[in-house]
Structure 1
Amino acid sequence: MSRPTIIVSTGRTGTIFFARLFGDMFPDRVESYHERGQSRLINILTNAHFAGMLPRSLLFSAWQQWKQSELNAQQKPYYIEVSNHLYGAVLLLPELWSQIQIVHIVRDPRSYVRSHVNWARHRAKSFIANYLVPFWQPNPYLIGEMRLGEWIRLSKFEHFCWIWDFKNRKMAELEHADVPYLRIYFEDFFQADHPEVSQDELLHFMGLPVQQNTAVNFSRRVNPTQTKSFPSWPDWTPQQCARLDQICGASMRKFGYGGEAEWQKKVTLGYGNESKPIGKN
Protein backbone atom coordinates (compact mmCIF):
# COMPACT_ATOMS: atom_id res chain seq x y z
CA MET A 1 0.00 0.00 0.00
CA SER A 2 1.24 3.49 -0.84
CA ARG A 3 0.99 6.49 1.45
CA PRO A 4 -2.52 7.96 1.38
CA THR A 5 -2.64 11.26 -0.51
CA ILE A 6 -4.64 14.15 0.96
CA ILE A 7 -5.38 16.89 -1.60
CA VAL A 8 -6.26 20.18 0.08
CA SER A 9 -7.20 23.69 -1.03
CA THR A 10 -9.39 26.67 -0.23
CA GLY A 11 -12.30 25.07 -2.05
CA ARG A 12 -13.65 26.09 -5.48
CA THR A 13 -10.57 24.43 -6.99
CA GLY A 14 -11.97 21.47 -8.94
CA THR A 15 -11.98 19.11 -5.98
CA ILE A 16 -14.90 17.00 -7.21
CA PHE A 17 -13.25 16.79 -10.62
CA PHE A 18 -9.97 15.55 -9.19
CA ALA A 19 -11.66 12.98 -6.97
CA ARG A 20 -13.51 11.53 -9.95
CA LEU A 21 -10.51 11.74 -12.27
CA PHE A 22 -8.29 9.38 -10.31
CA GLY A 23 -11.07 6.89 -9.66
CA ASP A 24 -11.94 6.83 -13.36
CA MET A 25 -8.31 6.50 -14.45
CA PHE A 26 -7.40 3.70 -12.08
CA PRO A 27 -10.61 1.95 -10.96
CA ASP A 28 -8.82 -1.19 -9.82
CA ARG A 29 -5.92 0.53 -8.07
CA VAL A 30 -7.21 3.76 -6.53
CA GLU A 31 -9.75 4.56 -3.83
CA SER A 32 -10.62 8.19 -4.48
CA TYR A 33 -12.98 10.24 -2.32
CA HIS A 34 -14.34 13.77 -2.15
CA GLU A 35 -14.83 15.15 1.38
CA ARG A 36 -15.25 11.69 2.83
CA GLY A 37 -17.00 10.93 6.10
CA GLN A 38 -16.63 13.50 8.86
CA SER A 39 -14.32 15.86 6.97
CA ARG A 40 -16.75 18.73 7.50
CA LEU A 41 -16.68 18.23 11.25
CA ILE A 42 -12.87 18.14 11.16
CA ASN A 43 -13.04 21.49 9.35
CA ILE A 44 -15.21 23.05 12.07
CA LEU A 45 -12.94 21.72 14.82
CA THR A 46 -9.87 22.96 12.95
CA ASN A 47 -11.23 26.49 12.69
CA ALA A 48 -12.28 26.38 16.35
CA HIS A 49 -8.70 25.46 17.24
CA PHE A 50 -7.28 28.32 15.15
CA ALA A 51 -9.66 30.61 17.07
CA GLY A 52 -8.32 29.35 20.40
CA MET A 53 -11.59 27.63 21.30
CA LEU A 54 -10.44 23.99 21.07
CA PRO A 55 -7.23 22.30 22.22
CA ARG A 56 -5.16 20.55 19.59
CA SER A 57 -5.46 17.30 21.51
CA LEU A 58 -9.21 17.19 20.85
CA LEU A 59 -8.67 17.82 17.15
CA PHE A 60 -6.21 14.94 17.09
CA SER A 61 -8.67 12.69 18.94
CA ALA A 62 -11.38 13.57 16.43
CA TRP A 63 -9.04 12.71 13.56
CA GLN A 64 -8.14 9.39 15.15
CA GLN A 65 -11.79 8.51 15.66
CA TRP A 66 -13.25 9.63 12.33
CA LYS A 67 -10.50 9.90 9.73
CA GLN A 68 -7.77 7.48 10.74
CA SER A 69 -10.23 4.59 10.67
CA GLU A 70 -10.94 5.43 7.02
CA LEU A 71 -7.24 5.41 6.17
CA ASN A 72 -6.72 2.15 8.04
CA ALA A 73 -9.53 0.51 6.05
CA GLN A 74 -7.76 1.13 2.73
CA GLN A 75 -8.45 -1.77 0.36
CA LYS A 76 -6.68 -0.74 -2.84
CA PRO A 77 -2.99 0.11 -3.37
CA TYR A 78 -3.66 3.87 -3.55
CA TYR A 79 -5.90 6.03 -1.37
CA ILE A 80 -6.77 9.64 -2.25
CA GLU A 81 -9.06 12.08 -0.49
CA VAL A 82 -9.71 15.49 -2.05
CA SER A 83 -11.09 17.86 0.57
CA ASN A 84 -10.74 21.55 1.32
CA HIS A 85 -12.07 20.75 4.81
CA LEU A 86 -8.75 19.15 5.80
CA TYR A 87 -6.66 22.23 4.91
CA GLY A 88 -5.65 22.96 8.50
CA ALA A 89 -5.71 19.55 10.17
CA VAL A 90 -2.89 18.25 7.99
CA LEU A 91 -0.74 21.15 9.24
CA LEU A 92 -1.81 21.08 12.88
CA LEU A 93 -1.31 17.33 13.31
CA PRO A 94 2.34 16.47 12.60
CA GLU A 95 1.63 13.00 13.98
CA LEU A 96 0.14 12.30 10.55
CA TRP A 97 3.15 13.33 8.49
CA SER A 98 4.88 9.95 8.51
CA GLN A 99 1.73 8.32 7.13
CA ILE A 100 0.44 10.68 4.42
CA GLN A 101 1.49 12.93 1.56
CA ILE A 102 -0.03 16.31 0.73
CA VAL A 103 -1.05 18.00 -2.50
CA HIS A 104 -1.94 21.70 -2.20
CA ILE A 105 -4.07 23.23 -4.98
CA VAL A 106 -3.79 27.01 -5.41
CA ARG A 107 -6.18 29.10 -7.49
CA ASP A 108 -5.91 32.75 -8.52
CA PRO A 109 -7.58 34.66 -5.66
CA ARG A 110 -9.50 36.85 -8.09
CA SER A 111 -11.31 33.92 -9.70
CA TYR A 112 -11.59 32.08 -6.37
CA VAL A 113 -13.30 35.03 -4.69
CA ARG A 114 -15.69 35.47 -7.59
CA SER A 115 -16.55 31.76 -7.62
CA HIS A 116 -17.03 31.51 -3.87
CA VAL A 117 -19.11 34.69 -3.56
CA ASN A 118 -21.47 33.42 -6.27
CA TRP A 119 -21.49 29.89 -4.84
CA ALA A 120 -22.26 31.03 -1.30
CA ARG A 121 -25.02 33.38 -2.42
CA HIS A 122 -26.95 31.11 -4.71
CA ARG A 123 -26.63 27.57 -3.33
CA ALA A 124 -28.76 27.13 -0.22
CA LYS A 125 -26.50 24.67 1.62
CA SER A 126 -23.42 26.76 0.92
CA PHE A 127 -25.22 29.93 2.03
CA ILE A 128 -26.17 28.32 5.35
CA ALA A 129 -22.65 26.98 5.88
CA ASN A 130 -20.77 30.16 4.96
CA TYR A 131 -23.15 32.63 6.62
CA LEU A 132 -24.66 30.76 9.58
CA VAL A 133 -22.57 27.78 10.74
CA PRO A 134 -20.03 28.75 13.45
CA PHE A 135 -16.42 27.97 12.49
CA TRP A 136 -17.33 26.78 9.01
CA GLN A 137 -14.72 29.30 7.92
CA PRO A 138 -11.80 30.68 9.96
CA ASN A 139 -12.54 33.90 11.83
CA PRO A 140 -9.93 36.68 11.43
CA TYR A 141 -10.95 38.43 14.67
CA LEU A 142 -10.78 35.33 16.87
CA ILE A 143 -7.51 34.27 15.24
CA GLY A 144 -6.06 37.70 16.02
CA GLU A 145 -5.48 39.00 12.50
CA MET A 146 -8.11 41.76 12.66
CA ARG A 147 -9.61 44.05 15.25
CA LEU A 148 -13.27 43.52 16.12
CA GLY A 149 -14.39 46.62 14.25
CA GLU A 150 -12.54 45.57 11.11
CA TRP A 151 -14.09 42.12 11.20
CA ILE A 152 -17.62 43.43 11.73
CA ARG A 153 -17.28 45.76 8.74
CA LEU A 154 -15.98 43.06 6.38
CA SER A 155 -18.06 42.46 3.28
CA LYS A 156 -18.30 38.87 2.00
CA PHE A 157 -15.98 39.88 -0.82
CA GLU A 158 -13.37 40.99 1.70
CA HIS A 159 -13.93 37.95 3.94
CA PHE A 160 -13.32 35.55 1.06
CA CYS A 161 -10.17 37.50 0.14
CA TRP A 162 -8.94 36.93 3.68
CA ILE A 163 -10.00 33.26 3.68
CA TRP A 164 -8.00 32.68 0.49
CA ASP A 165 -4.95 34.31 2.03
CA PHE A 166 -5.16 32.64 5.44
CA LYS A 167 -5.78 29.12 4.18
CA ASN A 168 -3.09 29.27 1.51
CA ARG A 169 -0.57 30.69 3.98
CA LYS A 170 -1.28 27.80 6.34
CA MET A 171 -1.13 25.12 3.66
CA ALA A 172 2.08 26.59 2.23
CA GLU A 173 3.78 26.06 5.60
CA LEU A 174 3.77 22.35 4.76
CA GLU A 175 6.36 23.06 2.07
CA HIS A 176 8.95 23.22 4.84
CA ALA A 177 7.50 20.43 7.00
CA ASP A 178 8.70 16.85 7.23
CA VAL A 179 5.98 15.53 4.94
CA PRO A 180 5.91 14.90 1.17
CA TYR A 181 4.30 18.04 -0.31
CA LEU A 182 3.44 19.13 -3.83
CA ARG A 183 1.90 22.46 -4.81
CA ILE A 184 -0.13 22.56 -8.01
CA TYR A 185 -2.08 25.35 -9.67
CA PHE A 186 -5.72 25.25 -10.74
CA GLU A 187 -4.96 27.21 -13.91
CA ASP A 188 -2.33 24.67 -15.04
CA PHE A 189 -5.09 22.08 -15.28
CA PHE A 190 -8.14 24.03 -16.41
CA GLN A 191 -6.75 27.00 -18.34
CA ALA A 192 -3.51 25.68 -19.86
CA ASP A 193 -2.86 24.51 -23.42
CA HIS A 194 -1.26 21.28 -22.18
CA PRO A 195 -2.81 20.28 -18.84
CA GLU A 196 -1.44 16.77 -19.19
CA VAL A 197 2.01 18.12 -18.26
CA SER A 198 0.78 19.10 -14.79
CA GLN A 199 -1.26 15.92 -14.57
CA ASP A 200 1.86 13.83 -15.18
CA GLU A 201 3.70 15.70 -12.41
CA LEU A 202 0.84 15.00 -10.03
CA LEU A 203 0.61 11.32 -10.95
CA HIS A 204 4.36 10.91 -10.53
CA PHE A 205 4.21 12.49 -7.07
CA MET A 206 1.48 10.07 -6.02
CA GLY A 207 3.36 7.09 -7.45
CA LEU A 208 0.85 6.44 -10.23
CA PRO A 209 1.78 5.76 -13.87
CA VAL A 210 1.58 8.52 -16.45
CA GLN A 211 -1.43 8.28 -18.76
CA GLN A 212 -1.62 9.19 -22.44
CA ASN A 213 -4.21 11.23 -24.36
CA THR A 214 -5.88 12.68 -21.28
CA ALA A 215 -6.08 16.39 -22.18
CA VAL A 216 -9.77 15.97 -23.04
CA ASN A 217 -10.49 15.23 -19.38
CA PHE A 218 -9.86 18.84 -18.46
CA SER A 219 -12.38 20.27 -20.91
CA ARG A 220 -15.36 19.08 -18.86
CA ARG A 221 -16.47 21.14 -15.89
CA VAL A 222 -17.71 19.59 -12.67
CA ASN A 223 -19.70 21.47 -10.01
CA PRO A 224 -19.53 24.87 -11.74
CA THR A 225 -21.02 28.03 -10.27
CA GLN A 226 -24.35 28.40 -12.04
CA THR A 227 -24.97 32.09 -11.32
CA LYS A 228 -22.51 34.78 -12.40
CA SER A 229 -23.92 37.79 -10.58
CA PHE A 230 -20.53 38.75 -9.13
CA PRO A 231 -18.30 39.66 -12.09
CA SER A 232 -14.76 38.69 -13.02
CA TRP A 233 -12.00 41.09 -12.01
CA PRO A 234 -11.79 43.15 -15.25
CA ASP A 235 -15.24 44.44 -14.27
CA TRP A 236 -14.32 45.22 -10.66
CA THR A 237 -13.88 48.77 -9.45
CA PRO A 238 -10.32 49.94 -8.79
CA GLN A 239 -11.23 50.05 -5.09
CA GLN A 240 -12.18 46.37 -5.10
CA CYS A 241 -8.91 45.49 -6.84
CA ALA A 242 -6.92 47.49 -4.30
CA ARG A 243 -8.79 45.88 -1.41
CA LEU A 244 -8.00 42.37 -2.62
CA ASP A 245 -4.37 43.41 -3.05
CA GLN A 246 -4.35 44.89 0.45
CA ILE A 247 -5.68 41.69 2.01
CA CYS A 248 -3.85 39.01 0.06
CA GLY A 249 -1.45 40.72 -2.33
CA ALA A 250 1.71 39.31 -0.73
CA SER A 251 0.50 35.72 -1.05
CA MET A 252 -0.90 36.43 -4.49
CA ARG A 253 2.50 37.54 -5.75
CA LYS A 254 4.25 34.64 -4.00
CA PHE A 255 2.13 32.23 -6.03
CA GLY A 256 2.73 34.13 -9.27
CA TYR A 257 -0.56 35.97 -9.75
CA GLY A 258 -1.31 39.63 -10.44
CA GLY A 259 1.34 40.51 -13.00
CA GLU A 260 -1.06 41.76 -15.66
CA ALA A 261 -0.61 45.42 -16.58
CA GLU A 262 -4.37 46.00 -16.47
CA TRP A 263 -4.59 44.57 -12.95
CA GLN A 264 -1.67 46.62 -11.67
CA LYS A 265 -3.17 49.78 -13.17
CA LYS A 266 -6.52 49.15 -11.46
CA VAL A 267 -4.84 48.42 -8.14
CA THR A 268 -2.81 51.63 -8.36
CA LEU A 269 -5.95 53.62 -9.16
CA GLY A 270 -7.73 51.99 -6.25
CA TYR A 271 -5.01 52.89 -3.78
CA GLY A 272 -5.13 56.44 -5.08
CA ASN A 273 -8.83 56.65 -4.23
CA GLU A 274 -8.85 54.91 -0.85
CA SER A 275 -11.03 57.61 0.63
CA LYS A 276 -13.90 56.43 -1.56
CA PRO A 277 -16.08 53.64 -0.13
CA ILE A 278 -15.40 50.12 -1.30
CA GLY A 279 -18.57 48.54 -2.65
CA LYS A 280 -19.95 45.84 -0.37
CA ASN A 281 -20.28 42.61 -2.31
Structure 2
Amino acid sequence: MQFSDIFKIKFDDFVWTLRFGKPKRKGVIYDLRQEGFKSIDRPVFFLSTGRCGTKWFARLISADKKLKVFHEPQPNLGSQSKLAFETIIQKDFNINHEEARLIEEIFLAGREQYLRYSYKTEKRYIETNNHITFFAPVIAKLLPQALFVHVYRHPGEFVRSAIRRKYYLEGNKEDLKRIHPVINSTAYDHWDQWDQIQKNAWLWDETNQFIEKFKSMIPEERIFSFNFNVLNFENVQALLNFIRADISAGSIRKLLGKKENIQKSGKYKTYSDWDISEKSKLKELCGRLAEKYNYQL
Protein backbone atom coordinates (compact mmCIF):
# COMPACT_ATOMS: atom_id res chain seq x y z
CA MET A 1 0.00 0.00 0.00
CA GLN A 2 1.41 3.39 -0.99
CA PHE A 3 1.56 6.38 1.35
CA SER A 4 -1.03 8.16 -0.78
CA ASP A 5 -3.44 5.26 -0.23
CA ILE A 6 -3.02 5.51 3.54
CA PHE A 7 -3.67 9.24 3.39
CA LYS A 8 -6.77 8.68 1.28
CA ILE A 9 -8.25 6.22 3.76
CA LYS A 10 -7.63 8.57 6.66
CA PHE A 11 -9.05 11.50 4.72
CA ASP A 12 -12.17 9.51 3.80
CA ASP A 13 -12.67 8.57 7.44
CA PHE A 14 -12.28 12.23 8.36
CA VAL A 15 -14.95 13.28 5.85
CA TRP A 16 -17.41 10.64 7.06
CA THR A 17 -16.72 11.59 10.67
CA LEU A 18 -17.64 15.18 9.82
CA ARG A 19 -20.92 13.93 8.38
CA PHE A 20 -21.89 11.49 11.13
CA GLY A 21 -19.86 12.38 14.19
CA LYS A 22 -17.27 10.42 16.12
CA PRO A 23 -17.57 6.62 15.71
CA LYS A 24 -18.43 4.63 18.84
CA ARG A 25 -17.45 1.23 17.46
CA LYS A 26 -15.69 -0.38 14.55
CA GLY A 27 -17.61 -1.20 11.42
CA VAL A 28 -16.24 -3.05 8.41
CA ILE A 29 -18.17 -3.37 5.15
CA TYR A 30 -17.14 -7.01 4.79
CA ASP A 31 -18.61 -7.89 8.18
CA LEU A 32 -21.83 -5.98 7.53
CA ARG A 33 -22.30 -7.73 4.20
CA GLN A 34 -21.51 -11.14 5.67
CA GLU A 35 -24.27 -10.79 8.24
CA GLY A 36 -26.74 -9.32 5.74
CA PHE A 37 -26.70 -5.82 7.25
CA LYS A 38 -28.73 -7.09 10.20
CA SER A 39 -26.82 -4.77 12.54
CA ILE A 40 -28.13 -1.66 10.76
CA ASP A 41 -30.81 -0.38 13.10
CA ARG A 42 -34.18 0.38 11.40
CA PRO A 43 -33.17 2.78 8.61
CA VAL A 44 -36.01 4.89 7.20
CA PHE A 45 -36.57 5.83 3.55
CA PHE A 46 -39.07 8.47 2.42
CA LEU A 47 -40.79 7.67 -0.88
CA SER A 48 -42.30 10.46 -2.96
CA THR A 49 -42.50 12.33 -6.25
CA GLY A 50 -40.43 15.12 -4.76
CA ARG A 51 -41.81 18.65 -4.29
CA CYS A 52 -43.93 17.54 -1.33
CA GLY A 53 -42.22 18.65 1.85
CA THR A 54 -39.50 16.06 2.30
CA LYS A 55 -36.88 18.73 2.99
CA TRP A 56 -39.15 20.08 5.72
CA PHE A 57 -39.26 16.62 7.29
CA ALA A 58 -35.48 16.33 7.06
CA ARG A 59 -35.09 19.55 9.01
CA LEU A 60 -37.60 18.46 11.65
CA ILE A 61 -36.18 14.96 12.16
CA SER A 62 -32.62 16.28 12.43
CA ALA A 63 -33.55 17.61 15.88
CA ASP A 64 -33.23 14.04 17.18
CA LYS A 65 -29.48 13.56 17.55
CA LYS A 66 -29.83 9.77 17.72
CA LEU A 67 -30.81 9.91 14.06
CA LYS A 68 -28.83 11.02 11.04
CA VAL A 69 -31.03 12.40 8.30
CA PHE A 70 -30.00 13.21 4.73
CA HIS A 71 -32.18 15.02 2.21
CA GLU A 72 -29.62 15.13 -0.59
CA PRO A 73 -26.99 12.43 0.01
CA GLN A 74 -24.33 12.13 -2.66
CA PRO A 75 -24.51 10.49 -5.08
CA ASN A 76 -28.23 11.24 -5.28
CA LEU A 77 -28.79 8.16 -7.49
CA GLY A 78 -31.11 10.11 -9.80
CA SER A 79 -30.14 8.50 -13.11
CA GLN A 80 -29.71 5.13 -11.42
CA SER A 81 -33.18 5.43 -9.91
CA LYS A 82 -34.58 5.86 -13.41
CA LEU A 83 -32.88 2.61 -14.45
CA ALA A 84 -34.33 0.84 -11.41
CA PHE A 85 -37.81 2.10 -12.35
CA GLU A 86 -37.51 0.90 -15.95
CA THR A 87 -36.21 -2.52 -14.93
CA ILE A 88 -38.90 -3.11 -12.31
CA ILE A 89 -41.83 -1.69 -14.30
CA GLN A 90 -41.01 -3.64 -17.45
CA LYS A 91 -41.17 -6.83 -15.38
CA ASP A 92 -44.27 -5.71 -13.41
CA PHE A 93 -42.20 -5.96 -10.22
CA ASN A 94 -41.26 -9.59 -11.00
CA ILE A 95 -37.55 -9.03 -11.56
CA ASN A 96 -35.24 -12.03 -11.51
CA HIS A 97 -32.38 -12.66 -9.09
CA GLU A 98 -29.71 -11.18 -11.36
CA GLU A 99 -31.70 -7.99 -11.95
CA ALA A 100 -32.37 -7.62 -8.23
CA ARG A 101 -28.67 -8.08 -7.47
CA LEU A 102 -27.73 -5.44 -10.01
CA ILE A 103 -30.13 -2.86 -8.52
CA GLU A 104 -29.00 -3.85 -5.03
CA GLU A 105 -25.34 -3.27 -5.86
CA ILE A 106 -26.13 0.09 -7.48
CA PHE A 107 -27.92 1.10 -4.29
CA LEU A 108 -25.05 -0.10 -2.11
CA ALA A 109 -22.48 1.68 -4.27
CA GLY A 110 -24.17 4.92 -3.31
CA ARG A 111 -25.28 4.13 0.25
CA GLU A 112 -22.97 1.47 1.71
CA GLN A 113 -20.77 3.98 3.52
CA TYR A 114 -23.81 5.83 4.86
CA LEU A 115 -25.10 2.58 6.35
CA ARG A 116 -21.65 1.69 7.64
CA TYR A 117 -21.21 4.98 9.47
CA SER A 118 -24.73 4.86 10.86
CA TYR A 119 -23.62 1.58 12.44
CA LYS A 120 -20.25 2.96 13.60
CA THR A 121 -21.82 6.03 15.22
CA GLU A 122 -24.91 4.17 16.48
CA LYS A 123 -27.19 6.62 14.70
CA ARG A 124 -30.17 5.44 12.67
CA TYR A 125 -30.06 6.38 9.00
CA ILE A 126 -32.94 8.44 7.55
CA GLU A 127 -33.15 9.45 3.88
CA THR A 128 -35.77 11.84 2.48
CA ASN A 129 -34.34 11.98 -1.05
CA ASN A 130 -37.09 11.22 -3.59
CA HIS A 131 -34.63 9.51 -5.94
CA ILE A 132 -34.51 6.57 -3.53
CA THR A 133 -38.17 5.78 -4.32
CA PHE A 134 -37.66 3.31 -7.15
CA PHE A 135 -35.09 1.34 -5.17
CA ALA A 136 -37.70 0.58 -2.49
CA PRO A 137 -38.57 -3.01 -3.56
CA VAL A 138 -34.91 -4.00 -3.48
CA ILE A 139 -34.16 -2.09 -0.26
CA ALA A 140 -37.08 -3.81 1.47
CA LYS A 141 -35.53 -7.22 0.82
CA LEU A 142 -31.93 -6.17 1.42
CA LEU A 143 -32.84 -4.45 4.71
CA PRO A 144 -35.89 -6.26 6.14
CA GLN A 145 -35.70 -4.02 9.21
CA ALA A 146 -36.08 -0.85 7.09
CA LEU A 147 -39.16 1.36 7.42
CA PHE A 148 -40.75 3.45 4.67
CA VAL A 149 -42.72 6.70 4.64
CA HIS A 150 -44.88 7.58 1.62
CA VAL A 151 -45.43 11.34 1.33
CA TYR A 152 -47.90 12.58 -1.27
CA ARG A 153 -49.40 15.90 -2.32
CA HIS A 154 -52.34 17.18 -4.39
CA PRO A 155 -51.48 16.46 -8.05
CA GLY A 156 -52.46 19.95 -9.20
CA GLU A 157 -50.02 21.52 -6.76
CA PHE A 158 -47.28 19.10 -7.73
CA VAL A 159 -47.79 19.68 -11.46
CA ARG A 160 -47.74 23.45 -10.97
CA SER A 161 -44.45 23.20 -9.06
CA ALA A 162 -43.00 20.87 -11.70
CA ILE A 163 -43.93 23.22 -14.53
CA ARG A 164 -42.34 26.13 -12.70
CA ARG A 165 -39.16 24.05 -12.46
CA LYS A 166 -39.36 23.25 -16.18
CA TYR A 167 -39.79 19.50 -15.81
CA TYR A 168 -40.00 17.81 -19.22
CA LEU A 169 -39.22 21.03 -21.05
CA GLU A 170 -36.83 20.71 -23.97
CA GLY A 171 -33.29 21.58 -22.91
CA ASN A 172 -33.74 20.77 -19.23
CA LYS A 173 -30.69 18.64 -18.42
CA GLU A 174 -32.24 17.50 -15.14
CA ASP A 175 -34.75 15.45 -17.14
CA LEU A 176 -31.96 12.90 -17.51
CA LYS A 177 -32.90 11.82 -13.98
CA ARG A 178 -36.65 11.86 -14.52
CA ILE A 179 -38.61 8.76 -15.44
CA HIS A 180 -40.26 8.41 -18.84
CA PRO A 181 -42.86 5.92 -20.03
CA VAL A 182 -41.46 2.50 -20.89
CA ILE A 183 -41.85 1.04 -24.36
CA ASN A 184 -45.19 -0.64 -25.09
CA SER A 185 -47.01 1.40 -22.43
CA THR A 186 -50.02 3.58 -23.26
CA ALA A 187 -48.20 6.68 -22.06
CA TYR A 188 -45.25 5.89 -24.33
CA ASP A 189 -47.50 6.11 -27.39
CA HIS A 190 -48.85 9.53 -26.35
CA TRP A 191 -45.73 11.08 -24.84
CA ASP A 192 -44.59 13.22 -27.78
CA GLN A 193 -48.07 14.73 -28.15
CA TRP A 194 -48.53 15.54 -24.46
CA ASP A 195 -47.95 19.01 -23.02
CA GLN A 196 -46.26 19.79 -19.70
CA ILE A 197 -49.44 19.38 -17.69
CA GLN A 198 -49.99 15.88 -19.04
CA LYS A 199 -46.37 14.78 -18.72
CA ASN A 200 -46.09 15.95 -15.13
CA ALA A 201 -49.52 14.56 -14.28
CA TRP A 202 -48.25 11.22 -15.58
CA LEU A 203 -45.13 11.59 -13.41
CA TRP A 204 -47.27 12.16 -10.29
CA ASP A 205 -49.54 9.23 -11.07
CA GLU A 206 -46.84 6.79 -12.21
CA THR A 207 -44.63 7.47 -9.19
CA ASN A 208 -47.45 7.13 -6.68
CA GLN A 209 -48.82 4.04 -8.45
CA PHE A 210 -45.36 2.50 -8.16
CA ILE A 211 -45.31 3.29 -4.45
CA GLU A 212 -48.83 1.91 -3.95
CA LYS A 213 -47.82 -1.33 -5.67
CA PHE A 214 -44.76 -1.56 -3.44
CA LYS A 215 -46.86 -0.89 -0.33
CA SER A 216 -49.11 -3.81 -1.21
CA MET A 217 -46.11 -6.13 -1.21
CA ILE A 218 -44.76 -5.45 2.29
CA PRO A 219 -46.28 -5.77 5.78
CA GLU A 220 -48.33 -2.69 6.69
CA GLU A 221 -46.27 -2.17 9.84
CA ARG A 222 -43.32 -1.22 7.64
CA ILE A 223 -45.03 1.68 5.85
CA PHE A 224 -46.57 5.00 6.90
CA SER A 225 -48.53 7.15 4.43
CA PHE A 226 -48.61 10.92 4.91
CA ASN A 227 -50.81 13.45 3.11
CA PHE A 228 -48.74 16.64 3.01
CA ASN A 229 -51.88 18.68 2.33
CA VAL A 230 -52.97 17.86 5.87
CA LEU A 231 -49.84 19.03 7.64
CA ASN A 232 -50.81 19.41 11.29
CA PHE A 233 -49.40 18.54 14.69
CA GLU A 234 -51.33 15.29 15.15
CA ASN A 235 -50.36 13.86 11.77
CA VAL A 236 -46.71 14.86 12.12
CA GLN A 237 -46.57 13.36 15.60
CA ALA A 238 -48.01 10.10 14.26
CA LEU A 239 -45.31 9.95 11.60
CA LEU A 240 -42.58 10.64 14.15
CA ASN A 241 -43.96 7.93 16.40
CA PHE A 242 -43.84 5.51 13.47
CA ILE A 243 -40.16 6.15 12.74
CA ARG A 244 -39.42 6.41 16.48
CA ALA A 245 -38.06 9.94 16.34
CA ASP A 246 -37.95 11.85 19.62
CA ILE A 247 -38.91 15.43 18.74
CA SER A 248 -40.41 17.81 21.29
CA ALA A 249 -43.93 19.16 20.79
CA GLY A 250 -42.48 22.66 20.86
CA SER A 251 -40.08 21.90 18.01
CA ILE A 252 -42.91 20.46 15.91
CA ARG A 253 -45.20 23.45 16.45
CA LYS A 254 -42.38 25.90 15.79
CA LEU A 255 -41.49 24.31 12.46
CA LEU A 256 -45.11 23.92 11.36
CA GLY A 257 -45.17 27.64 10.71
CA LYS A 258 -42.11 27.54 8.45
CA LYS A 259 -41.54 26.36 4.90
CA GLU A 260 -38.53 24.66 3.34
CA ASN A 261 -37.31 24.59 -0.26
CA ILE A 262 -39.73 27.36 -1.28
CA GLN A 263 -40.21 27.74 -5.03
CA LYS A 264 -38.76 31.07 -6.17
CA SER A 265 -38.16 30.57 -9.88
CA GLY A 266 -40.69 30.20 -12.67
CA LYS A 267 -44.31 31.28 -12.83
CA TYR A 268 -47.50 29.33 -13.33
CA LYS A 269 -51.01 29.95 -12.06
CA THR A 270 -52.29 28.16 -8.98
CA TYR A 271 -54.46 25.09 -9.51
CA SER A 272 -57.65 26.91 -8.50
CA ASP A 273 -57.10 29.25 -11.48
CA TRP A 274 -56.69 26.50 -14.07
CA ASP A 275 -59.34 26.40 -16.77
CA ILE A 276 -61.63 23.41 -17.34
CA SER A 277 -59.51 21.91 -20.12
CA GLU A 278 -56.37 22.00 -17.99
CA LYS A 279 -58.10 20.38 -15.03
CA SER A 280 -59.57 17.76 -17.36
CA LYS A 281 -56.08 16.76 -18.49
CA LEU A 282 -55.04 16.31 -14.88
CA LYS A 283 -58.17 14.36 -13.97
CA GLU A 284 -57.78 12.02 -16.93
CA LEU A 285 -54.32 10.95 -15.76
CA CYS A 286 -54.55 11.33 -11.98
CA GLY A 287 -58.26 10.97 -11.23
CA ARG A 288 -58.32 7.44 -9.89
CA LEU A 289 -55.47 7.88 -7.45
CA ALA A 290 -56.55 11.41 -6.51
CA GLU A 291 -59.91 9.97 -5.45
CA LYS A 292 -58.13 7.36 -3.32
CA TYR A 293 -56.24 10.19 -1.60
CA ASN A 294 -59.44 12.25 -1.20
CA TYR A 295 -58.29 15.07 -3.46
CA GLN A 296 -60.82 17.19 -5.33
CA LEU A 297 -59.89 17.78 -8.96
Q: TM-score range by the shorter chain?
A: 0.7 to 0.9
Residue 226 of structure 1, CA deviation: 1.0
Query: What is residue 194 of structure 2 aligned with on the other side?
Result: 154
Contact 2:150/2:211 (CA < 8 Å) preserved in 1?
Answer: yes
Taking only aligned residues, the RMSD between alpha carbons, in angstroms, comes to 2.6
Structure 2 residue corresponding to 1:177, chosen from 211, 217, 229 = 217
TM-aligned CA deviation for residue 172 of structure 1: 1.5
Q: Percent identity?
A: 20
Alignment of 1:260-271 (within 5 A): 263=297
Q: Tell me the residue number matched to 1:127.
A: 172
Query: Which of 202, 207, 224 is the matching residue for 2:239?
Result: 202
Q: 1:147 to 1:223 in 2, by over 3 A?
A: closer
Do the aligned residues in 2 keep the contact of 1:141 with 1:147 (CA within 8 Å)? Answer: yes
Larger Rg: 1 or 2?
A: 2
8 Å CA contact 2:78–2:178 kept in 1: the answer is no
Aligned to 1:63: 107
What is the rounded CA distance, in whole Å, between the counterparts of 2:142 and 2:166 in structure 1?
32
SS of 2:126's equivalent in the other structure is: strand
What CA deviation, in whole Å up to 9, does each residue of 1:116-148 have, x standing for no partner? 110236x9xx93202xx2xx2221243623243
What is the TM-score with the length of structure 2 in the denominator? 0.75
TM-superposed CA distance for 1:98, in Å, is: 0.5
Quote the residue 2:135 is aligned against.
Answer: 89
CA deviation after TM superposition for structure 1 residue 61, in Å: 1.7
Aligned residues: 245
User: Is contact 2:80–2:106 with CA below 8 Å preserved after alignment?
Assistant: yes
Contact 1:29 1:77 in 2 (8 A): yes
Is the contact made by 2:45 and 2:127 (CA closer than 8 Å) also made in structure 1? yes
TM-score for both structures, normalised by structure 1: 0.79
Give the unaligned 5+ runs of structure 1. Answer: 190-194, 264-281
| Alpha-carbon spacing, 1:69–1:41, altered in 2? closer, same or farther (3 Å) | farther
Match of 2:267 among 229, 240, 246: 229
CA distance in 2, matches of 1:139, 1:246: 18
CA contact (8 A) 2:165 2:266 kept: no
Which residue identity does 2:73 align to in structure 1?
R
Cα offset, 1:31, TM superposition: 0.4
Pair 1:139 & 2:139 matched? no
Q: Distance in 2 between matches of 1:219 and 1:90?
A: 31
**Would the alpha carbon gap of residues 253 and 106 (structure 1) be closer, same or farther in structure 2, given more than 3 Å must change?**
same
What residue in structure 2 maps to residue 78 of structure 1?
124
Query: CA 1:232–1:6 in structure 2 vs 1: closer, same or farther (change >3 Å)?
Result: same
2:203 is equivalent to residue 163 of structure 1: yes
Choose the corresponding residue for 2:287, options 241, 249, 259: 249
